[in-house]
């Protein structure tokens, strides 16, 4: 089977959300926004929100820049490694297993911004 990329502008999020039961990714996204925001508020100026994602035999940490979702079941985590490399993690809602961690800011010379989360993709 040949893979075909969607055309630019292809909707990646449902235009008319119904209920949390119909939109588990959107519901989990809202809860994650709350938890990440609370965690971010607990950090001083030297630190920012990081995510540690663990799989058997491997652990990856990155600075969290944003979270998005695609109903009914996908979440997207965007950020950068300590080396400044861009990363994106896409997970099914049934497999989300993340640890929020404090990480030293990538650029301490810049003013610390509040945690900015995108709405959707």
Element (H, E) at 75: strand 74-80
| Phi (first) and psi of residue 112, to 5 degrees | -70, 130
Task: Report the C-alpha gap between 39 and 115 in whole angstroms.
Answer: 10
> Between the CA atoms of 47, 82, 59 and 41, what dihedral angle is there, to the nearest 10 degrees?
20
CA 90 to chain CA mean position, Å: 8
Instruction: Give domain limits for the chain.
Output: 24-104
User: What is the full per-residue pLDDT of the chain (121 aa) written as tens digits?
Assistant: 343 344 444 344 444 445 555 789 999 999 999 999 999 999 999 999 999 987 788 888 999 998 999 999 999 999 999 999 999 999 999 999 899 999 999 988 888 766 644 434 3
């Amino acid at each position: 089977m040949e893979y075909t990329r969607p055309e630019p502008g292809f909707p990646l999020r449902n235009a008319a959300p119904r209920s949390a039961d119909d939109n588990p990714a959107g519901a989990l996204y809202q809860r994650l926004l709350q938890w990440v925001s609370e965690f971010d508020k607990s950090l001083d100026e030297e630190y920012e929100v990081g995510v540690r994602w663990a799989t058997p035999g491997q652990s990856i940490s990155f600075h969290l820049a944003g979270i998005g979702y695609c109903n009914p079941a996908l979440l997207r985590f965007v950020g950068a490694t300590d080396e400044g490399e861009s990363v994106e993690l896409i997970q099914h809602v049934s497999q989300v297993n993340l640890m929020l961690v404090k990480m030293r800011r990538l650029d301490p010379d810049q003013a610390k911004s509040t945690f900015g989360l995108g709405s959707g993709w």
